[in-house]
Amino acid sequence: MAGSITSSMAGDPSRRAVLAGMAASAFAHRALAQSPMGLARGPVQPSWSSLVEHYRYPDWFRDAKLGLWSHWGPQSVPEQGDWYGRFMYMQGHPMYEHHLKTYGHPSEAGMMEIQRRWTAERWDPDALIARYKRAGARYFVSLACHHDNLDCYDSRYHAWNSLRVGPKKDVVGIWAGATRRAGLKFGVSNHAAHAWHWYQTAYGYDAVGPRQGVRYDAFRLRQADGRGRWWEGLDPQQLYTGGHLVIPDGIGSVAEMNAWHDRHDGQWVETAPPGDTAYAMRWLLRQADLMEKYRPDFCYFDDYELPFGPIGLQAAADYYNRSIAWHGKIDVVLTAKQLKPYARFGLVQDVERGFTDHRWDEPWQTDTCIGDWFYNVARLNDKSYKTAEQVIQRLADVVSKNGNLLLSIPQPGDGSIDREEEKILDDMAAWVAVNGEAIFGSRPWRVYGEGPTRLQVGMQNEQSAGAFTAQDIRFTTNSGALYALPLRWPTRRLSIAALGTDRLREAVIERVTLLGGGTLAHRRDGAGLHVDLPPPGGSGFVPVLRIDGRGLV
């Protein structure tokens, strides 16, 4: 980000909007005086104005373009996909039925028992990181804590962590070591701010059937109940977060019960639980501990803006001040979602499973997964993963618009990846080995691209995007060269309208090279640049044309 919050911002309409949010920062400054000990001190204060004033987008992130993510934790154990720890408590949901049949009734075998079963016995982090690096990853992200509220690291402030429960290993620390040995940047993701409302189904009961009205394990278990059991000394209420929105007795149908949950605890909120601000303060301690122990280059918040208002601002300021102590400058990335104008330049915006239809002025990121966030064996069985071609198409589209792609490769509870995932990664590696110069270290061109496929702006809209065509072309620049990336391999002559003499009058095109395939004959007129490509070979998807000349970039 160029300039400060004063004179350089005043003439920029997108930055002028930032000023409108500054008055609200006084509350955050007051909150700092009440913050727990242990937060890093430095020039960055817990206010949007201070974040915007001090933040600069790191060059390493702008160059990296592709991150790989291990969105892996105890919810991978059942191999049923996302949000198992919530849905297993909702009678009528397929995950409830799976849990009942496989593990027992949730009044007796709850999510804490699934966490116990997370063993990671086939996890080989060094081998996985090596494969991810070959596939193009320049940074790697480890899930540190999901909504299931198990810290996957050596957590000072939360006893429910992976050294005491599940694999009995410092998962984040082991990932960090493997990542840094491979020369990649290391990141973590923190989703724990939402655990308190996400877990309220664990305090419910069956609406119908032989266990009608019997409350689930979270409602009845306390620390004293663990005496002589595997979880002795642990308090289930700390894991399940406490009964903040407990469904009342007497609901007599599954539909009515699910509707109650949708209205009360199924909302995506960024506030602390009612009457329990201590939960948010504990979250802050856990977050600061995570930053202090592992010194991540990247931190992903699964939040709209920052969690818990001023407390989230304290977490951001703590991270940035730590970076200044580590590196002499802010050289880290903190992502969040749905940023309002006043927050836009103080963080990196993440667009979950989404697209944009324009080139952004500032760096941004989209995150997606080749399947479900948590491992779902049905994706392997029905062959419904994203293909390597779809991943590379997505990468080219995002990079052309000044973004990065963070891609998750789901792992079962044992820590392996399956044969289809291995093939996807190997196909990506083959493409990157030939075409990586068009992606890594690149910058956007004057236009992001052209073509008939229209993308909808926003989050969670992947399913609405149509299939890309050979006429959908994306552009990048690197070291003085222009790159054109047709998102499908053309079956006949490729014409690129943006490079015609009518649109690019001053430019001279001297040479067109197919990466991995040699120089191509070309013709240029007012309608475009016209090139005949050979049939696909090698990786066989998303060909890359390097275009050299004068006045192009």
CATH of residue 184: 3.20.20.80
Q: How confident is the model at residue 1 (pLDDT cuts 50, 70, 90)?
A: very low
Among the three residues 399, 414, 438, which one is the final residue of a domain in this structure?
A: 438
Q: How confident is the model at residue 26 (pLDDT cuts 50, 70, 90)?
A: very low
355 & 315 share domain: yes
pLDDT of 3 higher than 90:
no
The Cα 476–Cα 318 span in angstroms is 35
383: left (phi > 0), else alpha (psi -120 to 50), else beta? left
437: left (phi > 0), else alpha (psi -120 to 50), else beta? alpha
259 & 353 share domain: no
At residue 537, the pLDDT reads 78
Torsion of CA 202, 207, 212, 218, to 10 degrees: 10
At residue 317, the pLDDT reads 98
176 & 289 share domain: yes
Domain assignment present for residue 1? The answer is: no
pLDDT in tens, 120-157: 999 999 999 999 999 999 999 999 999 999 999 999 99
pLDDT of 35 higher than 50:
no
Q: Please tell me whether residue 140 adopts helix, strand or coil conformation.
A: strand
Which residue matches tokens 């949010």?
21
At residue 23, the pLDDT reads 32
Percent of the chain past pLDDT 70, that is, above it, reads 93
Q: What's the domain range around 314?
A: 7-74+121-195+273-438
Domain assignment present for residue 357? The answer is: yes
Among the three residues 404, 421, 438, which one is the final residue of a domain in this structure?
A: 438
Cβ atoms 126, 133 nearer than 8 A:
no
Residues 6+ apart with CB under 8 A from 23: none
47 & 134 share domain: yes
pLDDT of 7 higher than 50:
no
H or E segment and range at residue 321: helix 310-327
Q: Please tell me whether residue 311 adopts helix, strand or coil conformation.
A: helix
The Cα 400–Cα 130 span in angstroms is 27
What number is the average pLDDT over the span 182-195?
Answer: 98
At residue 133, the pLDDT reads 98
Torsion of CA 127, 131, 136, 139, to 10 degrees: -30
Domain assignment present for residue 108? The answer is: yes
The Cα 401–Cα 97 span in angstroms is 43
252 & 352 share domain: no
| Helical residues (DSSP H) of 141-267, grouped into ranges | 171-181, 195-198, 217-220, 236-240, 254-264
Q: Please tell me whether residue 465 adopts helix, strand or coil conformation.
A: coil
Domain assignment present for residue 79? The answer is: no
Task: State the sign of the Cα–Cα–Cα–Cα dihedral 255, 257, 259, 261.
Answer: negative
153 & 252 share domain: no
At residue 37, the pLDDT reads 59
Among the three residues 210, 231, 264, which one is the final residue of a domain in this structure?
A: 264
pLDDT of 82 higher than 80:
yes
479 & 338 share domain: no
The Cα 495–Cα 470 span in angstroms is 10
Point out the least confidently predicted range of 17-31, 217-231, 289-303.
Answer: 17-31
The Cα 299–Cα 291 span in angstroms is 9
Q: Say how many C-beta atoms besides its own lie within 10 A of residue 457's C-beta.
A: 11
Nearest to 28 by CA among 313, 278, 277, 269: 313
Domain assignment present for residue 407? The answer is: yes
Domain assignment present for residue 352? The answer is: yes
The Cα 487–Cα 468 span in angstroms is 6
235 & 96 share domain: yes
pLDDT in tens, 332-370: 999 999 999 999 999 999 999 999 999 999 999 999 999
393 & 295 share domain: yes
What number is the average pLDDT over the span 162-189?
Answer: 98
Q: How confident is the model at residue 174 (pLDDT cuts 50, 70, 90)?
A: very high
139 & 154 share domain: yes
Give how many domains the chain has, as a whole number: 3
At residue 492, the pLDDT reads 82
Beta strand pairing call for 481-486 and 473-478: antiparallel
Q: Please tell me whether residue 302 adopts helix, strand or coil conformation.
A: strand
Task: Quote the mean pLDDT of the chain.
Answer: 93
Which residue matches tokens 């969040």?
336
- Read off the CATH number of the domain in which 495 is found: 2.60.40.1180
Cβ atoms 143, 175 nearer than 8 A:
no
pLDDT of 4 higher than 90:
no
pLDDT in tens, 279-326: 999 999 999 999 999 999 999 999 999 999 999 999 999 999 999 999
DSSP state of 337: E
pLDDT of 390 higher than 80:
yes
Exposed/middle/buried for residue 417 (C-beta within 10 Å: 0-12, 13-18, 19+):
buried
148 & 187 share domain: yes
203 & 189 share domain: no
pLDDT of 423 higher than 50:
yes
What number is the average pLDDT over the span 17-28?
Answer: 34
396 CA to centre of own chain: 18
Q: Please tell me whether residue 143 adopts helix, strand or coil conformation.
A: strand
- The alpha carbons of the chain give a radius of gyration, in whole angstroms, of 25
The Cα 538–Cα 511 span in angstroms is 22
Cβ atoms 519, 512 nearer than 8 A:
yes
pLDDT in tens, 442-475: 999 999 999 999 998 899 988 888 899 999 999 9
Q: How many CA atoms lie within 13 A of 473 on its CB side?
A: 20
